[in-house]
Every structure is written in structure tokens, then in C-alpha cells.
Amino acid sequence: MRLCRVFTVLILAGLIPAGICSAAAWQPHVNTANLRDTITVQIIHHAEPAIVSITAKKVITRQVNVFGSIFGVPTFGPYVRVPADFLGSGFIIQKNGYVVTNNHVVDQAKEISVTLSDGKKYAAHVVGSDPQADLAILKINSASGRSFPTLALGDSSTLMIGEPAIAVGNPFGFSQSVSSGIISAMGREIREPNNPVPLKNLIQTDAAINPGNSGGPLLNAYGQVIGINTAIRGNAQNIGFAIGVNRLYELIGTLMNPETTNGVLIPVTFAGERTFHSPATITEQVVLAGTHGPAVKSVDGIATPDLLDAYAALLQVTLRQKNVVVTFSNGTTRSYPVSVAPPTPAEIRELRVIQAVKRIMGCTIEQVTPTLGEKFNLGVKNGLLITQVNANSMAAKAGLKPGDVLVQLGPYRIRTLNDLGALLPRLPNQGQVRVMVVRNHRLGVGNLTMP
């Protein structure tokens, strides 16, 4: 459990000012009376309650073997959309139930569940994600309002080659599995499937990391999180990689942004000032971004000893409030107005495409998502769902109907609203343009007659 208080202690670097919290509240010790009670044993006992197993329900495309499981017959047959469970790991970083994992664990998931070490299972939802960094933050849906155990975030910039490392996770569904090793190298770069941007500055470790470990913590000898386990080298042994925890810390303001998460605009941004004191003490204070103080003491009366608590407090703000009150360590307060977040540039572009399609083709469209595709049994995971067709419109004359999924215009494949938006200006002024849709799991072809 991460204990973070405002207090004054003497350390090598001097006094910790009020308003700054220390991340070294718990530390293992050498037990000479019981040599079995090692540092690793103590760390796992301490960390286990905050480490979770994640199950993400997704819909995948799978080819059906019409000959069943006859030995020696190659698989062939139709492709179908079927549900599948993807397993991963994560760890709780804030007492309200905020969980860190890899983006690829929960990407396009229809349903997410989190299981704690005590066997209790909760539904969860994605608060924020960064596909390029392969990081995501989930929120456990707990009606009881319970306080969850957490892990302290360490510092990945001070790691030493050869220092101990402990990986905990859910490999192959074996929850709370522990492996230990050392930091093998720093600054590695790898490419993940479906991620156009390589992951850089990774930690390499020989602690065993297997499928299902993704999103779990890599811990140091003081039980602090130093990395998020993310990948293995499939054709090698004892080569695993983790995203440095400092990268996660840099993205907290983005991953827990109330504007993108809840649609609530609050004109305040926080930053964390962390200082490392060897061997494993980290002091932290929260300030307004772009300043060096005074420290933020509370948000709407909720104490904010660290950056995670500050953004967790912002995520509790609703549109029913008129303002948010921030209190500082020097006793001053500031009030910030609360309003509806404006649409993002991407949302504005998509809205313009929808309006253009309605004006030109006479139909209303909606982006297909895995959840939408499953809800209406569309048989596709992308494309544009036609929800309404105006009488005597270009779309109606082409034979398009509500429930069709637009997947091709002319020779061009359409997966997103952006795809269609790029094609609309190129439509000819006259003649016909072939349009292809999916209807009742079958492809259909029509012709749009340009006026």
C-alpha cells in the first residue's frame, strides 16, 4: 500500500518541505532470524494486493474448418466473427481504483474485467489510452467506494545494469505469477505488431515475461514500480522488455484528462515535481503546470499529495458543478470554472463528413466500432453504418438501406469517416460511382448516379 503523507523528515539531501510527499513509506528489510523471509518474499507479500489480472472480451475474425479437427487436413472454410477473451495484467496506482496496463491488452475490448489477488472481480472501463506508448489507464467500477491498495511509482532514470528486478503478472492465465532476475540493459527499441511507432528507451530484463504478463509491474528491490512489462522476444529465452515507469508518469495528465475522459472542461493543468534521493526515496509535490509552486494541497477539499491524486480528484468533477476550488500550501485558493468540453479537431472533421454525406448522398452514417458491430450483428469491425436514407435521394436510388455498412466507394476501401471524407471531394460531377456495402453478412453492389 502506498502511504503518502505531508510531514517533515531529515534525509541526505536536507529537509522535505511541507506539501511534499515521500514515496519510500514502505521498505523491505533483511530478516537475519529467518533466511527464507527474503527481500523478494517481502516485496511480493506487500505488492500482491495491488496487482490485478485483466480479462478483455473482444471480437475476432476466425476461419472455420468445415472438416472439424480431422488430423492432416489443412484449415479452410468461411471466416466468422467470434468472441474471444484476451488475458493481461495490471496494477493499481491510485486508491480510487485506477489501474495501469498496456493499451494492446484492452484495445477495442467490448468488456473489461479486473480480478484482484483475493479473487474479487470487478468490471472496469478505459479512462485513457495512448496506443503509440502502449499504455492505458482503467478505472475499476466499484459501487462500494472502497479504497484499493496501490503500488508506489519508482524512478526508471536511475536504474543500474545488474540490479534486481521482479516481474509479477498473469502469464497464460496463471495469475499472481512471480519471476525474478536483473536489469539486463537499458535504452532498447522494439516494434510491436499494429503499432506504427517503435517503443523506445525500454528496459530489458531476464526476469521471465510470458504472454499474459503484459501490463504487469516490473519492481525493484524496494518494491517500487520501475517498468510496465510489455513484450518478449519470441525466439529467445530470458529476454523481456518493459516500458520505463517515468514514461507513464509523463503521460498521467493525458491519460487522466477530464476533458477527454468525461467531457468536462476545467482550465487547470497540474504537473508533478519529483526528486530522487538514493537509494529509493522519491519526494513529490504537485504544482500548476508551468510553475514551481506553491504546492497544490487539495482539489475541492480532496488532498492531493501526488499527481495521481490530483488528477483523480479532477475526474470526480461533474458538469453539475459551477467551479473547482484548488487550495495551495501557502493558504491561498483559486476557483476554476467548469464547462462542457468543446469537440476535438478530430470530432469536428468527422461531423463535417457526416454533414457532407447527408447533403450529397442523402443518408446518415455512423462509424462502425467493435461494440456497434456486435450490438447489431453487422459482421464487420469497420466501415460506415447507414442509419437513415432519405426518400428519392442519391443513396435511395442506389438501393442503399438503413443497416447497410458502406465499405467501398469506387475502387477505394472505406474503413473510417476520414477515408470517406478524403474521397468526397474527388467524386465526379456526373456519371456513376460504384458503391459496395455489407448487408446481412453479404456483399452488395450499387451505383450512385451523380447529378
Residue with cell 462509424: 367
Q: Rounded distance, CA 176 to CA 217, Å?
A: 11
Give 332-358 as a 3 state SS string.
CEEEEECEECCCCHHHHHHHHHHHHHH
pLDDT number for residue 19: 56
Give which of 12, 37, 38 is closest to 24, Cα–Cα: 12
Domains of the chain (ranges, CATH numbers): 10-30+256-340 (no CATH), 345-450 (2.30.42.10)
pLDDT number for residue 194: 73
Q: Rounded distance, CA 52 to CA 55, Å?
A: 10
pLDDT number for residue 143: 80
Give which of 195, 194, 232, 238 is closest to 211, Cα–Cα: 232
Q: Rounded distance, CA 125 to CA 146, Å?
A: 17
Residues recorded for the chain: 451
Identify whether the C-beta of residue 51 lies closer than 8 Å to the C-beta of residue 89: yes
The segments of the chain whose pLDDT lies below 50 read 1-16, 18, 70-71
Residues paired with residue 323 on neighbouring β-strands, in sequence order: 337
pLDDT number for residue 9: 28
Please enumerate in sequence order all residues whose Cβ is within 8 A of that of 380, keeping only pairs 6 or more positions apart, or say none. Answer: 81, 368, 373, 405, 407, 438
Question: Looking at residue 158, what DSSP letter applies?
Answer: G
All 3 cell numbers of residue 304? 492531493
How far lies 19's CA from each of 22, 86, 284, 285, 397, in Å? 10, 42, 8, 6, 68
pLDDT tens figures, 93-111:
999 999 999 999 999 888 9
Active site residues: 104, 134, 214
pLDDT number for residue 234: 64
pLDDT tens figures, 349-390:
899 999 999 999 999 999 998 778 777 888 887 899 999 999
pLDDT number for residue 14: 38
pLDDT number for residue 144: 77
pLDDT number for residue 61: 65
Ramachandran angles phi, psi of 54, nearest 5° = -120, 135
pLDDT number for residue 3: 34
> Amino acid identity, residue 15?
L
pLDDT number for residue 382: 86
Question: Looking at residue 32, what DSSP letter applies?
Answer: T
Beta strand ranges found along 142-290 (DSSP E)? 164-169, 177-190, 199-205, 217-219, 225-232, 240-244, 264-265, 270-277, 281-288
